[in-house]
Amino acid sequence: MNRTGSGCTEALLPEGREKPAGQPLWLLAELTYKCPLQCPYCSNPLDFARHGEELTTDQWIRVLREARELGAAQLGFSGGEPLTRPDLVDLIREARQLGYYSNLITSGIGLTERKVADFREAGLDHIQVSFQASDEEVNNMLAGSAKAFAQKLKMAREVKAQGYPMVLNFVTHRHNIDRIDRIIELCIELEADYVELATCQYYGWAYENRAELLPTRAQLERAERITNEYRERLAAAGNPIRLIFVTPDYYEERPKGCMNGWGQIFLTVTPDGTALPCHSARQLPVEFPSVKQQSLGDIWYRSFGFNHFRGDDWMKEPCRSCDEKEKDFGGCRCQAYMMTGDAANADPVCSKSPHHDLIVQAREAAENPAGTGFTYRNERNSRVFCRG
């Protein structure tokens, strides 16, 4: 089977073969894989350099319209760095006219005072600015850019000054998690409304760099304790800032209920128009459809890719007979594929999985990291992966 759906002319399922599906309430529009930064934990595919031409403005507008007709209400403009698209303001305007609640997910690089104002005028609801760390040196080392931190600070202040609700996102890992107190202090200083302290999830470039990124259990527990202490202090002081601490499933015994179920509420469209049930699914050996060739309605309800892991008839043991399968759907298909080579296996995070030892080994390796250095997410390294 094709690794990706780009360029495919995939047949739809025969009448009556589609499985029960919800509405695609969330649309993630990955506008581009271009990005000025090089984060080693980026969730973009390793081989992003091979993927075809970006959708045009008209094609994106059609995607926004069709998704809205299917029930999508939340829209994230993401990438890569969505600010590299010159038509971003037009897409925001269209989103507003269609009635979406829209969110710009950005590194802040390329943002200006003028753009913040233009986006507001066009109807953008929300901006999420990501930081790599609270310290300039570490931030810039991880971003692969000497100017990144200063620009992010400036733009976070600008976003607030222009009256947006603001999310600050910090992907945490072994190189920055011990400074969680400083991260939270910075977010308080910047008057963030929400702070995502998102422990790195190991997909894409993050999986490639896992040995450098995975924190130890002790680091994680300390960070969670400090976050809880801040929550109490902030609440007592009447500060409305919300701290969201996302734990990595590598330290759990049960997997997450990935994407609330395959093809149930999340829809991602990649820069070249491939439609996916989650932003990591492109790596699976499943044929995914393209919005260049099919309507989103056909894709969502009747394509092979979106029906493949719906329901539970694809499950193997131990999931098939497990009384928790309604809760976690067997975990993450991408994690099962990356770690066991079979996307229909139980997510190895689960302690009932016969592959759970792979997670235990990764935890043990985090106690004594080899210090191999990072493979940065950039075009040159991606071309190396493309060559295999």
Stretch that binds ligand SF4, among 4-12, 39-47, 173-181, 284-292 (CB under 6 A): 39-47
In this complex, which beta carbon is closest to ligand SF4, that of residue 42 or of residue 275?
Answer: 42
Give the separation between CA 383 and CA 363, rounded to whole angstroms: 30
Stretch that binds ligand SF4, among 51-59, 112-120, 301-309, 319-327 (CB under 6 A): 319-327
Residue choice 24, 45, 76, 80 for contact with ligand SF4 (CB under 6 A)? 80
Q: What are phi and psi of 141, to 5 degrees?
A: -65, -45
Residue choice 24, 45, 79, 273 for contact with ligand SF4 (CB under 6 A)? 79
- 96 exposed, middle or buried (CB, 10 Å; 0-12, 13-18, 19+)? middle
In this complex, which beta carbon is closest to ligand SF4, that of residue 45 or of residue 305?
Answer: 45
Please tell me whether residue 34 binds ligand SF4 under the rule CB under 6 A.
Answer: no
Task: Tell me how far CA of residue 304 lies from CA of 6, 144, 279, in angstroms.
Answer: 14, 39, 17
Smallest distance, ligand SF4 to C-beta of residue 346, A: 4
In this complex, which beta carbon is closest to ligand SF4, that of residue 70 or of residue 171?
Answer: 171
Question: Would you state the torsion angle of the CA atoms of residues 329, 334, 337, 343, taken in this order, to the nearest 10 degrees?
Answer: 40
Q: Are 89 and 112 in contact (CB under 8 A)?
A: no
In this complex, which beta carbon is closest to ligand SF4, that of residue 76 or of residue 79?
Answer: 79
Smallest distance, ligand SF4 to C-beta of residue 300, A: 25
Q: How many other C-beta atoms can be found within 10 angstroms of the C-beta atom of residue 255?
A: 25
Residue choice 30, 263, 328, 333 for contact with ligand SF4 (CB under 6 A)? 328
- 280 exposed, middle or buried (CB, 10 Å; 0-12, 13-18, 19+)? buried
Residues 6+ apart with CB under 8 A from 130: 105, 106, 107, 108, 152, 168, 169, 170, 171
Directed axis angle between helix 57-69 and helix 88-98, to 10°? 20
Residue choice 76, 289, 305, 330 for contact with ligand SF4 (CB under 6 A)? 330
Is position 42 annotated in a ligand binding site? yes
In this complex, which beta carbon is closest to ligand SF4, that of residue 227 or of residue 382?
Answer: 382
Per DSSP, the three-state class of 183 is helix
Please tell me whether residue 241 binds ligand SF4 under the rule CB under 6 A.
Answer: no
Smallest distance, ligand SF4 to C-beta of residue 204, A: 8
Compute the chain's Rg from CA coordinates.
21
Please tell me whether residue 322 binds ligand SF4 under the rule CB under 6 A.
Answer: yes
Give residues 341-370 in contact with ligand SF4 (rule: CB under 6 A). Answer: 346-347, 350, 352
Going by the DSSP 8-state scheme, the letter that residue 181 receives in this structure is H
Please tell me whether residue 35 binds ligand SF4 under the rule CB under 6 A.
Answer: yes
Going by the DSSP 8-state scheme, the letter that residue 302 receives in this structure is H
Residue choice 87, 135, 191, 324 for contact with ligand SF4 (CB under 6 A)? 324
Give residues 157-196 in contact with ligand SF4 (rule: CB under 6 A). Answer: none
Please state whether beta strands 166-172 and 126-131 pair in parallel, antiparallel, or not at all (unpaired). Answer: parallel
Please tell me whether residue 47 binds ligand SF4 under the rule CB under 6 A.
Answer: no
Q: What are phi and psi of 75, to 5 degrees?
A: -130, 125
For ligand SF4, the binding residues (CB under 6 A) are: 35, 37-39, 42, 44, 79-81, 107, 254-255, 318-319, 322, 324-325, 328, 330-331, 346-347, 350, 352, 377
Binding site for [4Fe-4S] cluster: what residues are annotated? 35, 39, 42
Which residue numbers belong to the known binding site? 35, 39, 42
